[in-house]
Structure 1
């Protein structure tokens, strides 16, 4: 018995196929929507990554049909367009749009890199630094990274060819900073060549002045000051300095340096004079000065200083001190000579008085005192000659005292005393 409305035969099979098709379409639609959501999520992540990396991405597919490279359809990310000052819909999706922005002097290098990637000649990522015109006017420096790969559709329905992809980063500010740094470095190098002082630099690891990993650098002037000509002879290590300190200066120089670095207040300066052994074995006097850069806690990060050759000045100072001692001794000797001359002068005066008294007594004695009178006359002549010789010595002594005292003897010291004694003698 058949029920009314029951379907059977070809019509029932057709209906089942329609239901299956509808179900498949619904499933495909759901999968498509899921893929679209995943694609949107990936695009959002990609845009976020671009912003985090401060770069934009681009993609160009070059078909095997040898189409003009400039007319090739291209894809630019939103961040790519922003870096050039455009909205995403304002920048034409063809390669020529980008090439037109590139500075004419940089186009050849950029296109060469593009073609190498497109033709598979370069298996590595190529970086091209170039200038491109910003929408607001003026050229800015950009860095483009380019990579390519060959794609052949697995089903054979698509179009095979090379896909060239890459990133674009704005490096204009970094380029300007680098340019300023190069100018400063050039000035430093030129100044260093003109300076006679040697420059040294120490990178302090972990704020520890005694850390064996501290990085030292000695300028060529430091090496030349000590008679060296290469890094091999005088390496950039601490031992190049410590091993050449004079034994009498080593502890003092080391303590001064450690005291400077260890004072986290930064109030302890670093300036010390010591001797260093040269290549020929001789010691030279130098003056070391330095300043440190510190972190917020006062720990030293880097110390830079100069080494000045003061050998000639130091030797002159030592010679000057020796000369002062010699001259002081000479002044004292002149003073002693003055005292001796004064004594001799006194003796001559007394002898003259004795001779005078003897002559008076001889005159009183008459004929009996004539012989004694002759002796008194001889004594008087001897006294006169002694006085004349004493006056000559006093003049020489006074002139020596004047010459020495004019430069070195203070007022009222040995020179003045000697001069006063001479005046007293000459007045007698």
Structure 2
């Protein structure tokens, strides 16, 4: 129908040529304005332009819908022959994602975007972009994460990637890309990394604490073992002291008996001496009874000497027993002091183990 109204094949060819010019023209809006109202096919051309505009509007609607669905913005940059940026275009969704409403708030300039890059991300972002567009083979991608200052002044993480349109020689002409908000994912990842580092640190500290705890437990076990051995030793020494005390008591009893014997001998000696005195007084010169008395006194003297020896021997045994008891008492005192020191070490080790256990529990709560 369109070919018929336009005068056959020649008219169709003219319209087709005009359409190609419209589609291929750089200044499309100006061409549309020139074509509108032109003769001789004004109505047809105007209708065609309306159709094209409707299609363009529909495609814009589809693009907005897709952007909203995937939560991403679109961006475009025209590249000069010297690899500089001629101009940039930011989609409405791009602007919305960084907190702006329209082009008046966020103009279509490279500075609108570059001036908001985080200082730590500027070099890496531009290096990646330059490497991408200057690689005439097209093998270097543009795929970066960076922080951008949004409208409220805070920084958010975004991911940007782009495809380069090149001429036959590989020289870049333009780049079209997507822009995705990854702030939540990035911060979650950072939090996971922090938690992982915290866990790694915890496990390192835990290993050190457990090692110290095991050493403390070993020290406690050794101290308890030594204390047990000393306790047994003290018990043995106490048994020896008890036996020595019994021996001393027995020696004392023997000494008392010897003392009684000596006393008896002493009394008898005194009595014999008295009798000898009396007998001497009676006998006068004769003194025959003195021999008997002398013999008895000699026997008593021998008995006294034997008793005295036994007493000295008993006293020597008592002295040795007393010395042994004193030595064992000193030994017990030393053992008791060592045991007290061991108990202090055990108490300190237990306190240290408890402190490490508390630290481990506290670290566990922080995970």
| TM-score of the aligned structures, taking structure 1 as reference length | 0.49
Match of 1:187 among 46, 62, 76: 62
Taking the TM superposition and a 5 Å limit, the aligned residue runs for 1:368-387 are 368=325, 372=333
Q: CA deviation at 1:390?
A: 7.8
Give the greater-gyration-radius structure (CA).
2
Query: In structure 2, do the counterparts of structure 1 residues 185 and 236 end up closer, same or farther at CA, with 3 Å as the change threshold?
Result: same
Q: How does 1:245-260 map to 2 (within 5 A)?
A: 245-260=117-132
Instruction: Spell out the pairing of 1:141-156 with structure 2 (5 A cutoff).
Output: 144-145=41-42
1:343 corresponds, among 201, 207, 215, to 215
**Aligned twin of 1:220:** 92
Structure 2: any 5+ residue segments left out of the alignment?
Answer: 13-35, 242-324
Matches within 5 A, 1:14-29: none
Distance 2:349 2:42 in 1: 108
CA distance in 2, matches of 1:377, 1:252: 69
Please state which structure has a larger fraction of its residues in helix: 2
Secondary structure at the aligned position of 1:268 is classed as coil
Does the aligned pair in 2 maintain the 1:203–1:215 contact within 8 Å? yes
User: How many Å apart are 1:259 and its aligned residue?
Assistant: 1.7
Structural mapping, 1:262-281, within 5 Å: 262-281=134-153
Aligned alpha-carbon RMSD (Å): 4.2
* Structure 2: distance between partners of 1:275 and 1:80: 60
Residue 282 (structure 1) shift: 2.0
Instruction: Give distance in 2, aligned partners of 1:188 and 1:384.
Output: 77
The alpha-carbon distance between structure 1 residues 343 and 364, as it changes in their structure 2 partners (threshold 3 A), is: same
Give the whole-Å Cα distance in 1 for the aligned partners of 2:46 and 2:74: 37
Does the alignment pair 1:80 with 2:7? yes
Distance 1:169 1:346, change over 3 A: closer
> TM-score with structure 2 length normalisation?
0.56
Mark the runs of 5 or more structure 1 residues left unpaired by the alignment: 1-53, 58-78, 86-124, 129-142, 147-167, 408-428
Is residue 64–residue 93 contact of structure 2 (8 Å, CA) maintained in 1? Answer: no
What CA distance in whole angstroms lies between the structure 2 residues aligned with 1:170 and 1:196?
36
SS in 2 for 1:274: strand
Aligned equivalents of 1:323 and 1:260: distance in 2?
A: 35
Distance 1:175 1:231, change over 3 A: closer
Give the secondary structure class of the aligned counterpart of 1:275.
Answer: strand
